[in-house]
Amino acid sequence: MASGHRRLSRTVAALLLLAGMTLPADPAEAAKRGPDLTVDASGTRLPLGVGRKVAYLKVSNLGNETPNEVTVDVHQPPGDPMPVALLWHSGGAGECDGDFGGFYCRLSPELIPGPGETVDIPIDATVYTTEEPYEGRFEASVRIESGKDANPANNTKWFPLELVDQPSADLSLVARDVKQSVRVGGDGTPESTGTLNPGETGAVRYTIANQGRKAVSGVRVTLHLPKGATFTRPPTQCVLADAARSAVCTYEDLTLVPAAEDTDPNDTIYSAVELYNLVTTAASAAAPATLRDGTVQVEGLAEQSTDVRSKPARTELPANAIAVPAADVDHSDNRDGFAVVLAAKSGGDGGAGGGDGDGGLPVTGPQAGLIGGIGLAALAAGGMLFLVARRRRTILVTPEDERPAA
């Protein structure tokens, strides 16, 4: 009998070893199965003298599935008095409730990020009770209401909330993921034509706003595309590099005044502007996939008097001149990321691919090798159970030069 038990133990051990060899051994890879939400913040530094600023919570999905219901919570430690209070931005997130210093927002379905995507949730920072610099903080968290997060350890973070004595401009930038194919309309603006497929053209859209105390004369925008996408028909203000995956766009005549001085929607004085750049995806790219790590960054060229109405348009700098970057109160919101999301072509087998091997993240479907591994593991486990217990059973404002040439 003892010899029979030893033979049975050796058989079970061999089956367990086989199961371990066929399943993924990397715990980090296993941890990313399913949705994995994380939260970050930008624009949480305010200059003294500005009564309100729009900051952003950035909710990203590092996993490979889209959750159904997502809620964002914001909490400030109690203070007496509370110099800066946070509250949701009206119409910016979905169903929100609570009060200054403590609230939640249940995200609208269109705002829930898919695999590799990021959404920007606006929140209002309002200054109430101080004329002195202030250093505080707040807590933000994101949770899945129905379902499980693959890595709950990155769902909650603390962020600084500051008032600084710096009477300068304060540029912020928010970029959106590229998810729609577009065509350029008669007025020169891109119009959506449906989901973005390999070989089609989309548009990187981003909003630049001045939430500081001084005007900015001229801005420079630097863009980088993920591998698998290139810029298409860039405006004359843009210089391409890196095989048309990088662009530096200098808008010398674009002046942005402080938001508090942008009071007439019918004049030509602006505190914010939306820009776009056309991008074309590689026809050979596998889909569905998410091409990640695209970035957009903005800097002001120079500060000027806020009395821009009486100022002439700024002339182009001579070739031997270098613009001095304008001071900026909060650099945390001058840069934003975006992804290019490719949809599978209907009626085809595009879903069989797993990206181009350079950061593409499949949206649906495990790899065939994993399926085989799971099958072998199931057979091994079944054999083990049979031997051990045989009787038991058991998810815009656009630059005019962007128009295509006739």
Question: Encoding tokens for residue 164?
Answer: 């600084």
State the architecture of 167-364 in CATH terms.
Answer: Sandwich (2.60)
Whole-angstrom Cα distance, residue 214 to residue 163?
Answer: 16
Q: Where are the domains of the chain?
A: 2-25+367-388, 35-165, 167-364
**Whole-number average pLDDT of the chain:** 78
Distance between the two ends of the chain, CA-based, in angstroms?
90
Whole-angstrom Cα distance, residue 109 to residue 122?
Answer: 16
CATH topology of 35-165 equal to that of 167-364? yes
C-alpha of 239 from chain center: 25
Lowest-pLDDT choice from 15-24, 218-227, 329-338, 362-371: 362-371
What is the topology classification, in CATH, of domain 35-165?
Immunoglobulin-like (2.60.40)
Mean pLDDT of 171-199: 91
Predicted structure pTM score? 0.73
Q: Are strands 156-164 and 45-47 parallel, antiparallel or unpaired?
A: parallel
Question: Encoding tokens for residue 245?
Answer: 């995956």
Q: Where are the beta strands (DSSP E) in 62-214?
A: 70-75, 84-88, 94-99, 102-107, 118-127, 134-144, 156-164, 171-175, 180-184, 190-195, 201-210
Question: Encoding tokens for residue 211?
Answer: 């939430």
What sign has the CA pseudo-torsion 125, 131, 133, 139? Answer: negative
Q: Which helix H or strand E contains 194, and what residues bound it?
A: strand 190-195
pLDDT of res. 61: 96
- List, in order, residues 6 or more apart from 112 with CB less than 8 Å away: 66, 67, 68, 69, 70, 119, 395
Question: Encoding tokens for residue 311?
Answer: 């100022």
Mean pLDDT of 356-361: 37
Q: How many CB atoms lie within 10 A of CB 97?
A: 9
pLDDT of res. 94: 87
Lowest-pLDDT choice from 221-225, 331-335, 384-388: 384-388
Question: Encoding tokens for residue 247?
Answer: 């662009």
pLDDT digit string, tens, across residues 228-237: 999 998 889 9
Mean pLDDT of 306-324: 48
Statement: residue 289 has pLDDT above 80? yes
Whole-angstrom Cα distance, residue 228 to residue 239?
Answer: 19
pLDDT of res. 307: 52
